[in-house]
Structure 1
């Protein structure tokens, strides 16, 4: 288990309980189960206290936790007959964005998501979830396919932001993101986005301009990272805690602002502590939303999407 900075007291208690049980396994005559259970109860109470009122910065840390389920985990668990489709038919295949045809509760759909990777090798291959222009053009191609065959689209958002490298900028990063966002607004099929971890900058907006935006309880969604914001406003990346407060990037803040439409509860301690429970919660929420949206025709879906984003600005001003 990887512990976050603010979870260090919890790590000590759980470590002591594990140590006692290891000693008992080595020496069967030792009876330490009562002491270990008392430590378990103490750890559970501390975990509840830590996660009862997480600050925005701590929510960022939880959203970035390496053990959280990533896009590939959700696709493997929730979608059957997944057939990946690769390439933008122009330059290359971007591994930071994965997608293809699949079935969700026996309903044919197109699923697209940002994958960060789960170990050093896959993180490098996936570029830590930071897509290049060809990734967004691949997403456009898949959304065109969904529109043509009248298939709902599900997007799984988890990225620090679009890749800011020289090559990406030379190949039209801003234009690719803008066109992907535009395509989200144009397609005449249900489009549902789930922010499963970190929704960063235009790289997230390009896949989350949807009829409904769902956010996991400890996910974040913002125009810029707290570190980036602090570097620009205060010329000091160490002021990321203040920036996280000001950005109002938590799922709870964004629900009030009308940016997100629903919050999906996470297990106590975050999705990383019980991956299967988190995945099941996403399954239920996603199925419920799709059941409602598939009953609408194309003009109604497009109008609904545009109205959502126009009202979002008004709600933001009022808030």
Structure 2
């Protein structure tokens, strides 16, 4: 089966396929074929570095969406023990695009909430491609309140292009459900640690994406809107082409920029090509940062924790006021 790849990865994938074909030849051990295999391996190594070393923001968005990228459930399995999943919002149904429950991190009891995408078409349909309905966010709210009740640190995993925008979701109160999650997050008297592991799009991500410490994988993104959504609003008709690429540049959605702005706290490195090229090493790096954040935050008094979280929220974003009269150049720009 042909390996999935984006346009910018295609030359590399084609070389890798040529290499595999050569290795499976009956004459692969002959001197001339072995020499060609060795040459191809060197070329692939060089091209791998050239392809992934200086990714554009749009290419990082594409890697964040890669179908082979580890999901929330993969990190839960790799990092935590004794995970007990909890289901339902106690009002309508169980939304499978949000998963969560009790677990232990290095023996410490915690509560987990995360977006969950599928691995194939069937799973993605069941999980609505990781786009929660209101009942998903109400399930998240229920788990937040349980975390607060039992004094359990809350760890969330963000990986969604956004909340589901369908009419039925709006009819069941999508905006209110997201707002209630944000309100609850702001007053929880337990540590809240966020890990942005893939896509972090719009209010659908923000609903479980704000806390005392925000950790982000190197090729994840976190933005007020997807690049395509931004392009469709600002440059109508360009959403599927150059517009999305341009939007990714101006949105400042990649980890380096968000760290510079103080919106996130830590970047977890990924192997060249993305987390799916070394999921075990990424999980180890993420676990290390989660454990460190948990240790740092657990010593803070609950009231002080809420005050610090509020201050952090208020300090995100800044602006300057211009009191003078606009010049001709200002008006032209």
- Secondary structure of 2:110's partner? strand
Q: What is the match of residue 324 of structure 2?
A: none
Q: What is the match of residue 311 of structure 2?
A: 307
TM-aligned CA deviation for residue 317 of structure 1: 6.4
Number of residue pairs the alignment of both structures matches: 315
- Secondary structure of 1:221's partner? coil
- Secondary structure of 2:19's partner? helix
Contact between 2:137 and 2:181, CA under 8 Å: does it hold in 1? yes
- The correspondence for 2:11, drawn from 9, 12, 36, is 9
Post-superposition Cα deviations, 1:131-158, rounded to whole Å, max 9, x if no partner, equal: 0001111111101101111100100000
TM-aligned CA deviation for residue 28 of structure 1: 6.2
Q: What is the match of residue 120 of structure 2?
A: 119
TM-aligned CA deviation for residue 33 of structure 1: 3.3
Aligned counterparts, 1:87-98, within 5 A: 87-98=88-99
Q: Distance in 2 between matches of 1:69 and 1:47?
A: 20
Q: Distance in 1 between matches of 2:278 and 2:256?
A: 21
Q: Which moved more, 1:278-287 or 1:206-215?
A: 278-287
- The correspondence for 2:297, drawn from 290, 293, 298, is 293
Q: What is the match of residue 71 of structure 1?
A: 72
Q: Which moved more, 1:31-40 or 1:110-119?
A: 31-40
Q: What is the match of residue 280 of structure 2?
A: 276
Post-superposition Cα deviations, 1:34-53, rounded to whole Å, max 9, x if no partner, equal: 32232222212211112221
- Secondary structure of 2:68's partner? coil
Task: Tell me the TM-score normalized by structure 2.
Answer: 0.92
Gaps of 5+ in 1: none
- Secondary structure of 2:306's partner? helix
Gaps of 5+ in 2: 322-333
Q: Is 2:188 aligned against 1:199? A: no
Q: What is the match of residue 21 of structure 1?
A: 23
Aligned counterparts, 1:1-319, within 5 A: 1-23=3-25, 26-27=26-27, 30-31=30-31, 32-236=33-237, 237=239, 238=241, 239-314=243-318
Q: Distance in 1 between matches of 2:172 and 2:141?
A: 16
Q: Which has the larger radius of gyration?
A: 2
Between structures 1 and 2, the one with greater helix share: 1
The runs of 4+ residues in structure 1 deviating greater than 6 Å are none
TM-aligned CA deviation for residue 29 of structure 1: 5.2
TM-aligned CA deviation for residue 65 of structure 1: 0.4
Cα gap change, 1:317/1:41 in structure 2, threshold over 3 Å: closer, same or farther?
A: farther
Task: Tell me the TM-score normalized by structure 1.
Answer: 0.95
Post-superposition Cα deviations, 1:266-306, rounded to whole Å, max 9, x if no partner, equal: 01111111111111111111111111111112112111211
